[in-house]
A and B are shown apart, each in its own frame.
Chain A
Amino acid sequence: MTITEAPPAARKKAAPEPPAPRAVGSPLPRKEDLRLVMGEGRFLDDLGRDAYEAAFIRSPHARARVLAIDIGPALGVEGLIAVYTYQDLPGRLAEPLPMLIPHPGLTHGRTGYPLAKEYVNHVGEAVVMVVARDRYAAEDACEKITVEYEPLPPVVGIENAFRADELVHPDVPGNVAGHVVQETGDARAAVAAAPYSLELHLDIERSACMPMEGRGVFARWDVADGSLRIYSSTQTSSGVRAAVAAKLELPLLKVECVTPDVGGGFGVKIVHPWPEEVLVPWVARLLDHEVKWTEDRREHFISSAHERGQLQTVRVGFDGRGRILGLDVDILHDNGAYTQYGLIVPLITSTQLLGPYKPGAYRVEFRSLYTNTVMVTPYRGAGRPQGVYAMERTMDSIADHLGLDRADVREANLIRPEEMPYDHGLLFQDGRPLVYDSGDFPASLDKIKKLVGWDEFAAYREQARAEGRRVGIGLAAYVEGTGVGPYEGGHVQIETSGKVYVATGLTSQGQGHETVFAQVVADELGVAVEDVTVTTGDTRRMGYAVGTFASRAAVMSGNAIALAARGVRDKALRIAGEALGVAPRKLEIVQGVVRSRDDPAVSIPLGTVAVLSNPLRYAFDEASKAATQFGGTPDHSRPPVAEGDEPGLEAREFFSPPRATYANGVHAVIVETDPETAEITVLRYCVVHDCGHLLNPMIVEGQVHGGVAQAVGGALYERMHYDESGQLLNASFMDFLMPYASETPVVEIDHLETASPMNPLGIKGAGEAGVIPGTAAFASAIEDAEGFPITKMPIQPCELFRLRQRFEAGEIPPLRRRAGAPNNVDEELCQP
């Protein structure tokens, strides 16, 4: 079904109130955790014990022509089964991988081939596939195969891509994959006419999803049945299924895709099909043998996907209160070598940049540029951290320019609750209008100020300074479009045991869907959470699905499942009503038993209702006798299954909202920077978060914690160190630094629950929020501690040290609010 704009209150009245205590809203422990912490998780590499294993020879060059491949020396390797190159690929497999998200602005989209055809465009691009009895032998064979390359000059770095002295793809002028302009009002004129104006040049670097478990795929071909079973560590089993069926020219119904437990995704696994996802099933069919490929960490660094890298120019015009009158933003976005996921990341940056603010006239222009590096696809936050960074750096600059409090300037620009729904007049990433549905931004700002002690901080900073310490505070706000369409489905079935089985097509990567969806169903049906079993990401159970991304699982599948559960409930009450001789509206379901509201003794268990729902020819146990032709007291005037009805106590519903629902929040961070070593320590990290009704507060907080950890990583530790030849210098966990628990702050959280009117449960997504404003908040806090502007993130101690040197040399201007204050390193600090 499709929900239009009906407020949730109106819908709720239709269904009888489920009895307290409600499962939804309570911090239930996760159903999946016992299995996972007992080591009983079943991840991709746990499958296919006897499968052949694949390994790949990947390009060592950022840009090169493949001249020759000599596999001869590998042929003697014990255990080698087969070697494949581009020349071996048949039919549609020999075509470029699909361009997943076309967009009119993506004028020069390019994707790679499953195995390099003639050119390689980044270090790590797959060139040769080797299949062997195990991965050891496969890697032995890889070592013996020689690939001859003609290296070509690579394009690395956004400036170089924009200068376009060299082209990544010779037929893409200027290295520009896509170019998009959106404008409301005449922003440039507004900036020019404003009483004050500023121009900022901002830089944000690459990071990556880095799930604990890399990608992986395992395929099994059933030659007699002509069918294929794929297991993939993916965020979209339905997408992989459709893509593989198309590439291998198989009927969709002969292809199944199952996601086992997935050890994190964070975006990288929504991309599909990866080369390995089409090659492994193809080879499994060719060899008529199970085949598996498990990505290793180095492969993950150089041949999956990265995110974040952008250069931004912001021109802003504002009045004396700091209200923005015109905002003109220019973004150069590095999309790496290919655009398999289209322009989604810069599209999100360019729209979500606005956050909770009214920008006056707004113009945004971006160019998505090719470089000879790993492609860029969404990573948790998906373009928003960059956008928030641009907007919040701008807010801080305005405040500093005018000598106003940074929170006050934000306050002056906020959209007020009474302005909801607020239409920005732009198109969002889902191709639909950017209209905020809910939120109370002034209340969010107020809460964070109280939580972090904003108004008292200036005194603390001065006191610390007197002790020779440097501390700073920063804050950053965001709005996140969550739960984008097109749709998701839910299937709910009550078995004769009374147990409830739920399926939805989107996948889980550790979010806790088994728990949250069970909570929703438990309340809707009046059963215990323990009696509800949830399956996700299995095309055998739900063929129509989109995937897990864009903080959409709870919104999309949660609501679809709630609707399906309501369908089952209606049917259960109808059948029970007939059996008990009570009108359905006089019935309720309590702990798995349908009973009369007037006389609870008049009752029937849901399991028995399930028996009755399915008229039987054959009894298989005592309970099922009642459903057979000579059992019970059937009405002989009617067919056993009524017209328009179906056997079974089950329902399937789809949820498809007209557009996204918008969550919001504000983060504040307090940092200390060592006056001598320039090391940066987080003293406090505070979050105010509004994702509407909380289905499970503990899980929401867990999502926020994880996001904040990634925010800390993105702000202070992580980056992709490409050298000018396009080699990734830190392609291992030894040199790509993610925060450990010891670097992750305790997160203090306060919630605000403004219900979304866009869906029956009144919820908004929560999956990505934790990471979004982190980089902006850290830049703000470090700037506050240091007294000079921070325009390049992430920042590491040696860079802060360098900035201090430049600042002391007069190459960087002080913040205006600090211009008069002394700012020298205390020479005496190391004296006892």
Chain B
Amino acid sequence: MKPPAFRYHSPRSLPEALDTLDAVGHDGKVLAGGQSLIPILNMRLAAPGHLVDINGLTELAYVRTDADGVRVGALARHADVEADADAHRAVSLLRQGLRLVAHPVIRNRGTTVGSLVHADPSGEMTAVLSLLGGSVELARLGGTRRVGAADFFTGPLESCVEPGEMAVSAYFPRLRGRTGTEFIEAARRHGDYAMCGVAAAVTLDDDLRIVSARAAYLSVSPVPLVLDLTETLAGATPDTAHWRAAGELAADRTEPDSDIHATAEYRRHLVRVLTARALRTAAVRGADPAVGGDGQGSDDQGSDDRECGARD
């Protein structure tokens, strides 16, 4: 469990980092929080010739919130995003999801952008970005491009970041209307990658009738899966909605795989149960009078730090 030899680069600025990445091309890898990359190197599952450590690029250590959403820089740690009060008010799903990412010590090092690039289909942030229809900004020597969530994730542990490129930020747009969100999951242990996780957003009209219900899933598909479940709930109020029907529809539309922690059948069952639970909580939050007409804004949304997402 020792990595093969590599050259270590520690650029002090973004241009310098992009220069280096350009020079090393296919043989280079960005080192951010290292929480995923270092184990991969130690197990010799990857053997890049060059590591470009971006931990010196402090200009990228930011979380910025404006009227439209939250922009997270490449060096913002999960813990920074989780703790950011403005970000939480604008996009509650961030904190709701982040508290389920591993443990505090890992969140102190791991970066939110890094976890998107890592593109683990069990990563909470991949589901959040996908549900919100966010994007990632990629830079290379001489140019940048913005890639929407739907195109960003190309396969399990595969994103569209190309050699010579690095992700400089991710953008999480604010949800509009009277919308409530929830993120729950069932994991073997507290902080483990989930057997199944659901990020849900439910939008209500002024009569508190459901106009939109969408959910994004973890660990049940090779890339983050977003389902529109509105058809089963439209017009219902949080009190009358048939959540289980939404869960059934979601279960019908997922094709999970089996692994040693959960069979495909059990995963699909979790999709059914957790979808119903997450949508219901999201709808109840959306109906909360504290939530204004312009989307979210309640300090209370998901700020409770419950230990186990699946129980409520």
Q: CB distance A797 to B266 under 8 Å?
A: yes
Q: CB distance B244 to A679 under 8 Å?
A: no
Q: CB distance A136 to B2 under 8 Å?
A: yes
> Which chain B residue lies CB-closest to A805?
B265
Partner among B186, B190, B284 whose Cβ is within 8 Å of the Cβ of A742: B190
Contact partners of B2 in chain A: CB under 8 A:
135-136, 139
Q: CB distance A677 to B186 under 8 Å?
A: yes
Q: CB distance A737 to B244 under 8 Å?
A: no
Q: CB distance B5 to A136 under 8 Å?
A: yes
Q: Which of B1-60 contact A (CB under 8 A)?
A: 1-5, 43-44
Is B280 an interface residue when CB atoms closer than 8 A count as contact?
yes
Interface centre among A296, A721, A730, A832 (most CB of B within 10 A): A832
Contact partners of A830 in chain B: CB under 8 A:
243-244, 247, 273, 276-277, 280
Partner among B5, B239, B265, B307 whose Cβ is within 8 Å of the Cβ of A140: B5
Chain B residue total in the interface (Cβ 8 A):
38
Map CB proximity to A onto B238-259 as digits: 1 under 8 Å, 0 otherwise.
1100011001000000000000
Docked Cα-Cα span, A721 to B188, in Å, equals 15
Docked Cα-Cα span, A297 to B308, in Å, equals 28
Contact partners of B265 in chain A: CB under 8 A:
802
Is B133 an interface residue when CB atoms closer than 8 A count as contact?
no
Docked Cα-Cα span, A541 to B64, in Å, equals 64
Docked Cα-Cα span, A832 to B202, in Å, equals 16
Q: CB distance B307 to A742 under 8 Å?
A: yes
Q: CB distance A740 to B188 under 8 Å?
A: no
Which of the four size classes fits the interface of chain A?
20 to 34
Q: CB distance A735 to B260 under 8 Å?
A: yes
Docked Cα-Cα span, A249 to B277, in Å, equals 69
Report if A677-B273 is in contact (Cβ < 8 Å); known contacts: A798-B266, A830-B280, A832-B284. Answer: yes
Q: CB distance B261 to A798 under 8 Å?
A: yes
Partner among A135, A679, A801 whose Cβ is within 8 Å of the Cβ of B308: A679
Is A159 an interface residue when CB atoms closer than 8 A count as contact?
no
> Which chain A residue lies CB-closest to B3?
A136
Q: Whole-angstrom distance from the CB of B311 to the nearest CB of chain A?
A: 7
Docked Cα-Cα span, A743 to B192, in Å, equals 12
Q: Which of A275-316 contact B (CB under 8 A)?
A: 296-298
Report if A801-B189 is in contact (Cβ < 8 Å); known contacts: A139-B2, A140-B5, A830-B276. Answer: no
Q: Whole-angstrom distance from the CB of B125 to the nearest CB of chain A?
A: 18
> Which chain B residue lies CB-closest to A294?
B1
Docked Cα-Cα span, A797 to B5, in Å, equals 42
Docked Cα-Cα span, A264 to B197, in Å, equals 35
Q: CB distance B266 to A740 under 8 Å?
A: no
Interface centre among B190, B266, B269, B280 (most CB of A within 10 A): B266
Q: Whole-angstrom distance from the CB of A815 to the nearest CB of chain B?
A: 23
Q: Whole-angstrom distance from the CB of B130 to the nearest CB of chain A?
A: 23
> Which chain A residue lies CB-closest to B311?
A674
Q: CB distance B266 to A832 under 8 Å?
A: no
Map CB proximity to A onto B189-200 as digits: 1 under 8 Å, 0 otherwise.
111100100000
> Which chain A residue lies CB-closest to B264?
A798
Report if A737-B192 is in contact (Cβ < 8 Å); known contacts: A298-B1, A797-B186. Answer: yes
Report if A737-B191 is in contact (Cβ < 8 Å); known contacts: A677-B273, A798-B262, A802-B263. Answer: no
Partner among B44, B239, B310 whose Cβ is within 8 Å of the Cβ of A677: B310
Partner among B191, B243, B261, B308 whose Cβ is within 8 Å of the Cβ of A831: B243
Contact partners of B247 in chain A: CB under 8 A:
830
Partner among B186, B188, B310 whose Cβ is within 8 Å of the Cβ of A737: B188
Q: Whole-angstrom distance from the CB of A178 to the nearest CB of chain B?
A: 31
Q: CB distance B1 to A296 under 8 Å?
A: yes
Docked Cα-Cα span, A136 to B265, in Å, equals 43
Interface centre among A796, A798, A827 (most CB of B within 10 A): A798
Is A655 an interface residue when CB atoms closer than 8 A count as contact?
no
Docked Cα-Cα span, A140 to B44, in Å, equals 10
Q: CB distance B310 to A832 under 8 Å?
A: no
Docked Cα-Cα span, A136 to B42, in Å, equals 10
Contact partners of A740 in chain B: CB under 8 A:
103, 189-191
Is B204 an interface residue when CB atoms closer than 8 A count as contact?
no
Contact partners of B3 in chain A: CB under 8 A:
136
Partner among A298, A721, A742 whose Cβ is within 8 Å of the Cβ of B189: A742
Is A739 an interface residue when CB atoms closer than 8 A count as contact?
yes
Q: Whole-angstrom distance from the CB of B266 to the nearest CB of chain A?
A: 4
Docked Cα-Cα span, A495 to B92, in Å, equals 68
Docked Cα-Cα span, A743 to B244, in Å, equals 29
Is A717 an interface residue when CB atoms closer than 8 A count as contact?
yes
Is A676 an interface residue when CB atoms closer than 8 A count as contact?
yes
Map CB proximity to B onto A666-690 as digits: 1 under 8 Å, 0 otherwise.
0000000010111101000000000
Map CB proximity to B onto A131-153 as digits: 1 under 8 Å, 0 otherwise.
00001100110010000000000
Is B270 an interface residue when CB atoms closer than 8 A count as contact?
yes
Contact partners of B43 in chain A: CB under 8 A:
298
Docked Cα-Cα span, A797 to B189, in Å, equals 11
> Which chain B residue lies CB-closest to A299?
B1
Q: Which of A403-435 contact B (CB under 8 A)?
A: none
> Which chain A residue lies CB-closest to B47?
A143
Q: Whole-angstrom distance from the CB of A733 to the nearest CB of chain B?
A: 10
> Which chain B residue lies CB-closest to A721?
B260
Is A729 an interface residue when CB atoms closer than 8 A count as contact?
yes
Docked Cα-Cα span, A258 to B237, in Å, equals 72
Contact partners of A742 in chain B: CB under 8 A:
189-191, 307
Q: Whole-angstrom distance from the CB of B228 to the nearest CB of chain A?
A: 20
Contact partners of B270 in chain A: CB under 8 A:
677
> Which chain A residue lies CB-closest to B260?
A721
Q: Which of B151-188 contact A (CB under 8 A)?
A: 186, 188
Docked Cα-Cα span, A681 to B310, in Å, equals 12
Q: CB distance B310 to A729 under 8 Å?
A: no
Q: CB distance A798 to B263 under 8 Å?
A: yes
Q: Whole-angstrom distance from the CB of B35 to the nearest CB of chain A?
A: 12
Q: Whole-angstrom distance from the CB of B140 to the nearest CB of chain A?
A: 32
Q: CB distance A679 to B310 under 8 Å?
A: yes
Q: Whole-angstrom distance from the CB of B249 to the nearest CB of chain A?
A: 14
Q: Whole-angstrom distance from the CB of A20 to the nearest CB of chain B?
A: 45
Q: CB distance A739 to B243 under 8 Å?
A: no
Partner among A135, A743, A827, A832 whose Cβ is within 8 Å of the Cβ of B190: A743
Contact partners of B311 in chain A: CB under 8 A:
674, 679, 681
Contact partners of A827 in chain B: CB under 8 A:
244
Q: Which of B252-308 contact A (CB under 8 A)?
A: 260-263, 265-266, 269-270, 273-274, 276-277, 280, 284, 307-308
> Which chain B residue lies CB-closest to A676?
B273
- 8 A-B residue pairs with CB within 8 Å: A677-B274, A739-B189, A743-B189, A797-B186, A797-B195, A798-B195, A802-B263, A830-B280
| Contacts A139-B4, A679-B311, A743-B190 known; 14 new A-B pairs at CB < 8 A | A136-B3, A136-B4, A136-B5, A143-B44, A674-B310, A674-B311, A677-B274, A679-B308, A679-B310, A742-B191, A802-B265, A830-B277, A830-B280, A831-B243
Q: Nearest 9 A-B pairs (CB), nearest first? A: A742-B190, A798-B266, A296-B1, A830-B276, A676-B273, A136-B2, A721-B260, A798-B262, A139-B2
